[in-house]
């Protein structure tokens, strides 16, 4: 067995079609636009470029970072599970999961790195001035470790050193799961924001990770075959069906968790009731009912049940709906937790603080999504042979 890596052996020239090349160019331009928006924010000042205020310091970009990081965690966990146990239907999709997990977390780093006013302080502070009592320090450290583990794991996959790759995959999955629950704890440990506070969010984020990971697996597997104009083989289709079962189960569980979150909120303090009202019948109600609940939970579950997981198009459409819904869910979570003033009832404060993302924030989101898209296309072009269903471990 040849254990040396060769880009010639893993690449797929047939993927380099004019359409794919144009899509790569588009994703690259999206990244350039995002970097340009960040550079402009540095020039004029983040307080001018972004719509965040002292009262609402976290905005859309925090939600998008959480969204992409959660997708990365889900892909990493599902890949690790399929690699560890082997012989399961998800195994043929696992190598692509590892690569897309890397792409998703790089998109998350793109967004959060350029959202920070002084991004160069982050790596310096993380390494030289560690704060072991900080959830955010642990989150950054663990996600950094996870990326390192996954890069090594993917290299080992390419060189067919599968036993070592499984070990690195397990380490990456542990780091990702820990980082993801830490991400939830960043919100859940803030007792000044009652709508976030509590022990539910770290577990809820892990549940959303499995949901998003299964959805991303289905969607990217389908798109990989579309850009090749290639019929899906039976093993890959069975893997998609298994991912569809995971997605359906997690849709059910996330729905239950969402219901209980509102039950608890309406049994809580005035601030919790108002935050829940912001979603149910307030300024975030359109996002909540149409995108988060309708498009993100109800419709994809119904589509999976009606198609009985026998239609590739139905599963892929449901997966896209799930990811759209989860995008809005993260935005709603971040916004609802801050909209109720901390000193409600004093100094004629409004019932809800207002926040509307700025153009620069939208452009950074475009850049983050472009990072993921370009990573996907480059992976299919240069590592496509490693994603084939027969090359599993």
Q: What is the per-residue pLDDT across 200-249, written as a single tens digit (0 to 9) for each?
A: 999 999 999 999 999 999 999 999 999 998 899 999 999 999 999 999 99
pLDDT above 90 for 20: yes
pLDDT above 90 for 10: no
Distance, in Å, from the CA atom of 314 to the CA atom of 307, rounded to the nearest integer, reads 7
pLDDT above 70 for 76: yes
1 vs 216: which has the higher pLDDT: 216
Query: What is the 3-class SS of 104-132, one letter each residue?
Result: HHHHHHHHHHHHCCCCCHHHHHHHHCCCC
Contact 364, 114 (CB under 8 A): yes
pLDDT above 60 for 58: yes
Cβ count within 10 A of residue 26: 13
Residue 228 CA: distances (Å) to CA of 94, 150, 161, 318, 339: 19, 26, 27, 22, 46
Per-residue pLDDT, averaged over 364-385, amounts to 97
Mean confidence (pLDDT) of the chain: 93
Residue 230 CA: distances (Å) to CA of 40, 57, 264, 371, 390: 43, 47, 49, 25, 16
pLDDT above 60 for 35: yes
Domains belonging to the chain, first-starting first, are 7-237+347-387 (1.20.1630)
Per-residue pLDDT, averaged over 316-332, amounts to 98
Question: What is the pTM assigned to this prediction?
Answer: 0.95
Question: Over pLDDT 90: what percentage of the chain?
Answer: 80
pLDDT above 70 for 384: yes
Q: How many CA atoms lie within 13 A of 275 on its CB side?
A: 29
Per-residue pLDDT, averaged over 50-73, amounts to 95
**End-to-end CA separation in angstroms for the chain:** 14
Q: What is the pLDDT of residue 299?
A: 98
Q: How many CA atoms lie within 13 A of 272 on its CB side?
A: 15
Q: What is the pLDDT of residue 154?
A: 96
pLDDT above 90 for 8: no
Per-residue pLDDT, averaged over 127-141, amounts to 89
Per-residue pLDDT, averaged over 307-332, amounts to 97
pLDDT above 90 for 172: yes
Q: How confident is the model at residue 2 (pLDDT cuts 50, 70, 90)?
A: low
Residue 64 CA: distances (Å) to CA of 57, 237, 323, 327: 15, 30, 11, 7
Handedness of CA 271, 274, 279, 282 (dihedral sign): negative
Distance, in Å, from the CA atom of 277 to the CA atom of 110, rounded to the nearest integer, reads 33
Distance, in Å, from the CA atom of 10 to the CA atom of 13, rounded to the nearest integer, reads 10
């Amino acid at each position: 067995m040849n254990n040396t890596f060769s880009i010639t052996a893993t690449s797929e020239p047939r993927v380099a079609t004019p359409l794919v090349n144009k899509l790569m160019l588009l994703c690259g331009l999206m990244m350039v636009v995002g970097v340009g928006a960040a550079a402009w924010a540095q020039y004029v000042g983040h307080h001018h470029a972004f719509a965040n205020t002292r009262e609402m310091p976290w905005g859309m970009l925090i939600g998008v970072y959480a969204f992409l990081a959660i997708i990365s965690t889900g892909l990493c966990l599902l890949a690790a599970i399929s690699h560890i146990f082997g012989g399961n239907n998800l195994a043929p999709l696992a190598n692509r999961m590892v690569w897309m997990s890397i792409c998703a977390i790089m998109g998350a780093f793109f967004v959060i790195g350029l959202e920070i006013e002084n991004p160069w302080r982050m790596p310096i502070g993380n390494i030289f001035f560690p704060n072991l009592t900080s959830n955010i320090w642990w989150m950054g450290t663990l996600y950094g470790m996870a990326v390192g583990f996954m890069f090594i794991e993917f290299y080992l996959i390419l060189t067919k050193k599968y036993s070592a790759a499984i070990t690195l995959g397990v380490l990456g999955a542990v780091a990702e799961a820990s980082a993801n629950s830490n991400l939830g704890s960043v919100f859940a440990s803030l007792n000044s924001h009652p709508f976030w506070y509590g022990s539910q969010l770290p577990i809820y984020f892990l549940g959303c990770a499995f949901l998003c990971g299964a959805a991303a697996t289905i969607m990217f597997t389908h798109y990989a075959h579309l850009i090749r104009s290639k019929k899906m083989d039976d093993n890959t289709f069975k893997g998609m069906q298994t991912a569809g079962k995971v997605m359906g189960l997690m849709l059910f569980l996330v729905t239950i968790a969402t219901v209980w979150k509102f039950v608890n909120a309406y049994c809580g303090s005035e601030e919790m009731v108002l935050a829940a009202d912001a979603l149910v019948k307030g300024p975030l109600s359109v996002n909540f009912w149409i995108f988060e609940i309708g498009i993100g939970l109800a419709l994809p579950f119904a589509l999976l049940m009606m198609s009985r997981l026998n239609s590739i198009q139905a599963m892929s459409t449901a997966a896209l709906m799930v990811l759209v819904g989860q995008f809005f869910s993260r935005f709603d979570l971040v916004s609802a937790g801050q909209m109720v003033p901390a000193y409600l009832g004093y100094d004629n404060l409004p019932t809800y603080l207002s926040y509307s993302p700025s153009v620069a924030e939208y452009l950074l989101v475009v850049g983050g999504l472009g990072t993921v898209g370009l990573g996907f296309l480059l992976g299919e072009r240069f590592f496509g042979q490693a994603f084939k269903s027969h090359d599993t471990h």
